[in-house]
């Protein structure tokens, strides 16, 4: 079915076009980019890549649309987001197939996670558009939260639709207009998303899609003087480059970057439950999640038991063809990622860490495709490369500690601070540890994912927050209008306003 989607997109000319100003247009850029199926290593599509000229046209379209979209009632924006939400759910299977094809996600995971939780960001944005207090008063000062303007949104390939909706939803709810540049490695789901926006009736120029490469299209967005804000999810390397490029025009930069999140297993944790959950979370999406808890920090006296249970859990994963409904873990998303993961497994071995399971090379029977053996290292020292650097693949490290203070120090001992897990039976103790961890999220005993929980990084994991109210506020400016004395029940002289 993935192939059928590509055939349709090709037939309708989508692969050759960008979506700008409410229309599918041929780009000025002459480049093409291959979409490679990571399970076969074969190219399955090639798409038109835009350039800086295309960015300029898209930004101009977004600028033209900004005045009316930002002045539209939040309720009308909610109605449009509701249509987008409905269309994503209606086309859930097509999105799942496209994601599975472009980045190798097991179809069961694409269906159960990639698509439904992506839709959640649009649902939450819809609800917030209808309920957020865009106008409040403080004495005789009216405080308006206004759309910041034209936003450039740069997204990665690991959760391709989810990262798009986490930005587009709140940006549109806030009244911003956007130019989206998805990862050039996962453009199919982005093309389907642009179709949804079009069919939902998004006014021309409010949403624009420019496919292309980071150093060309992403950099053009970051430097463009008429872009008011850039939000990027990706590597810390790209996030730094975007911030540098954005600095001369003093635009707002939101960065969701890398991570090396800890999973701190407290001495009283019920290992039979905690360790399989830790392995599942660390290896979710084949370890290709920025907040994946990839460092298991465990009590030294329980190390042998942890290794045994972790190894059993990793061995139970079904690595294979992402199209098979039995597969839990497909290949990693691309050749660069495969090589990076192999390099890091090699680095772990060279540094003297001990392989508990997995290791170099592909799993038995999978000679083709970017498949990686789920790999656990123990005997890991906190300063080893495999304990410090983001690997972005199915590789977990187990680090032993002697007391909880040391465990917290290890947990905080990287340049990152995105996610964290704490597991233990004494909830008060687990909460006390959560308070000491320097990261944007801490999960106690594996709670369900929430689209309302703000998400973002401390330290080099980024700046800003996504999801929920905080995610909406990223896209707002604050304006104070002084001298609006408010009569009881009145509006301080600001009515009628588009914000009410
Ligand atoms: P990347 O940072 O290179 O790409 C992410 C996005 O940024 C893409 O859309 C890319 O085109 C764009 N980009 C790249 N260079 C840019 C530049 N100079 N200016 C503007 N935009 C630019 O990430 P990747 O190649 O997709 O993956 C490499 C590493 O990034 C991974 O190994 C992983 O560590 C990390 N990563 C993190 C996340 C996350 O969610 N935090 C997601 C994907 C990848």
Domains identified in the chain and CATH numbers: 2-257+461-481 (3.40.605.10), 262-444 (3.40.309.10)
**Is 214 a pocket residue for ligand 1 (Cβ < 6 Å)?**
yes
- pTM for this model (two decimals): 0.96
Distance (Å) from CA 233 to ligand 1 centroid: 7
Mutation test residue for ligand 1: of 155, 156, 414, the one with most atoms within 8 Å of CB: 156
Active-site entry in 120, 146, 213, 256: 256
Please confirm, yes or no, whether 290 is among the known catalytic residues. Answer: yes
Distance CA 52, CA 245 (A): 14
* Ligand 1 in reach of 395 Cβ (< 6 A): no
456: Cβ below 6 Å to ligand 1?
no
| 280, two tokens | 């599942």
Question: Is 256 in the active site?
Answer: yes
Report how many helices (DSSP H) and strands (DSSP E) the chain contains, helices first: 17, 20
Compute the CA torsion angle 429, 435, 441, 443 (nearest 10 deg).
0
* Ligand 1 neighbour 246 (Cβ under 6 A): no
What is the DSSP track for 198-234? Answer: HHHTPPTTTEEE----IIIIIHHHHH-TT--EEEEES
- From residue 205, alpha-carbon distances to 50, 251, 365 in Å are 17, 20, 49
**Which residue matches tokens 């994991």?**
461
Burial of residue 138 (CB within 10 Å: 0-12, 13-18, 19+) is exposed
455 lines ligand 1 (CB under 6 A): no
Per-residue pLDDT tens digits of the chain, which is 500 residues long: 678 999 999 999 999 999 999 999 999 999 999 999 999 999 999 999 999 999 999 999 999 999 999 999 999 999 999 999 999 999 999 999 999 999 999 999 999 999 999 999 999 999 999 999 999 999 999 999 999 999 999 999 999 999 999 999 999 999 999 999 999 999 999 999 999 999 999 999 999 999 999 999 999 999 999 999 999 999 999 999 999 999 999 999 999 999 999 999 999 999 999 999 999 999 999 999 999 999 999 999 999 999 999 999 999 999 999 999 999 999 999 999 999 999 999 999 999 999 999 999 999 999 999 999 999 999 999 999 999 999 999 999 999 999 999 999 999 999 999 999 999 999 999 999 999 999 999 999 999 999 999 999 999 999 999 999 999 999 999 999 999 976 555 555 554 454 44
> Rounded distance, CA 67 to CA 70, Å?
6
CB 176 within 8 A of CB 150: yes
DSSP state of 357: E
């Amino acid at each position: 079915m993935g192939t059928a989607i590509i055939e349709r997109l090709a037939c309708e000319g989508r692969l050759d076009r960008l979506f700008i100003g409410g229309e599918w247009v041929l780009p000025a850029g002459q480049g093409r980019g291959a979409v490679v199926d990571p399970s076969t290593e074969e190219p399955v599509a090639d798409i038109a890549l835009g350039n800086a000229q295309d960015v300029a046209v898209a930004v101009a379209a977004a600028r033209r649309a900004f005045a009316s979209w930002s002045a539209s009632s939040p309720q009308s924006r909610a109605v449009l987001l509701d249509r987008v939400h409905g269309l994503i759910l209606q086309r859930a299977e097509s999105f799942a197939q496209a994601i599975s094809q472009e980045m190798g996600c097991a179809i069961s995971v694409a269906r159960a996670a990639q698509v439904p939780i992506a839709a959640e960001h649009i649902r939450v944005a819809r609800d917030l558009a209808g309920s957020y207090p865009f106008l409040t008063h403080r004495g005789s000062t009216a405080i308006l939260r206004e759309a910041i303007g034209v936003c450039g949104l740069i997204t990665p390939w690991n959760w391709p639709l989810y990262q798009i909706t986490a930005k587009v939803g709140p940006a549109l709810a806030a009244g911003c207009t956007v130019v989206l540049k998805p990862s050039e490695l996962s453009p199919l789901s982005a093309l389907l998303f642009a179709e949804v926006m079009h069919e939902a009736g998004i006014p021309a120029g409010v949403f624009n899609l420019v496919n292309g490469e980071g150093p060309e299209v992403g950099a053009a967005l970051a430097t463009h003087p008429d872009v008011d804000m850039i939000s990027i999810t990706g590597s810390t390397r790209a996030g730094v480059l975007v911030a540098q490029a954005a600095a001369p025009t003093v635009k707002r930069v939101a960065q969701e970057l890398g991570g090396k999140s800890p999973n701190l297993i407290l001495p009283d944790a019920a290992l039979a439950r905690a360790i399989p959950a830790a392995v599942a979370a660390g290896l979710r999406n084949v370890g290709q999640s920025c907040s994946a808890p990839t460092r298991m920090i465990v009590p030294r006296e329980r190390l042998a038991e942890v290794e045994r249970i972790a190894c059993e859990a990793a061995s139970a994963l079904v690595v294979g063809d992402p199209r098979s409904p039995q597969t839990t873990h497909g290949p990693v998303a691309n050749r660069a990622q495969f090589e990076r993961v192999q390099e890091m497994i090699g680095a772990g071995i060279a540094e003297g860490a001990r392989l508990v399971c997995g290791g170099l090379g592909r799993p038995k029977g999978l000679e083709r495709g970017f498949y990686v053996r789920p790999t656990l290292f123990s005997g890991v020292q906190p300063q080893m490369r495999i304990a410090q650097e983001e690997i972005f693949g199915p590789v977990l490290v187990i680090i032993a500690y002697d007391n909880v203070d040391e465990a917290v120090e290890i947990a905080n001992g990287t340049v990152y601070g995105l996610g964290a897990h704490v597991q233990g039976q004494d909830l008060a103790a687990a909460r006390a540890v959560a308070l000491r961890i320097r990261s944007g999220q801490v999960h106690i005993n594996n709670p369900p994912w929430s689209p309302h929980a703000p998400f973002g990084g401390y330290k080099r994991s980024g700046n800003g927050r996504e999801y929920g109210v905080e995610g909406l506020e990223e896209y707002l400016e604050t304006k104070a209008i002084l001298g609006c004395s408010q009569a009881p029940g009145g509006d301080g002289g600001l009515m009628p306003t588009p914000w009410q």
